[in-house]
Amino acid sequence: DNFETVDHKYLQSDMLKLLNGETVEVPEYNFVTGLREFNGRKLHLEEGSILIVEGIHALNPRLTDRIDESTKYRIFINTITSIALDDHNCIPTSDNRLLRRIVRDYNLGSFTARETISHWPNVRRAEVKWIYPFQEDADAMFNSSYLLEFAVLHSHAEKILRTVPKDCKEYSEAHRLLKFLSYFTPISDKDVPSTSLMRGFIGGSSF
Q: C-alpha angle with apex 203: 202 to 207, nearest 5 degrees? A: 125
pLDDT 10s digits, 145-155: 999 999 999 99
Q: What is the pLDDT along the chain (207 residues), one digit of tens a residue?
A: 788 888 889 999 999 999 999 999 999 888 788 888 999 999 999 999 999 999 999 999 999 999 999 999 999 999 999 899 999 999 999 999 999 999 999 998 889 999 999 999 999 999 999 999 999 999 999 999 999 999 999 999 999 999 999 999 999 999 999 999 999 999 999 989 999 999 999 999 998
Instruction: State the pLDDT at residue 35.
Output: 86
Q: How many CB atoms lie within 10 A of CB 177?
A: 21
Instruction: Confirm if 150 and 99 have CB atoms less than 8 A apart.
Output: yes
Crossing angle for the helix pair 149-161 and 93-108, nearest 10 degrees?
60
Give the bridge partners for 75, in sequence order: 140
CA distances from 115 to 61, 153, 156, 173, 174 (A): 31, 19, 17, 12, 11
Classify 178 as helix, strand or coil. helix
Q: How many CB atoms lie within 10 A of CB 132?
A: 12
Crossing angle for the helix pair 171-181 and 93-108, nearest 10 degrees?
110
Instruction: State the pLDDT at residue 29.
Output: 84
Classify 76 as helix, strand or coil. strand
Instruction: State the pLDDT at residue 82.
Output: 86
How is residue 193 annotated by DSSP?
A: -
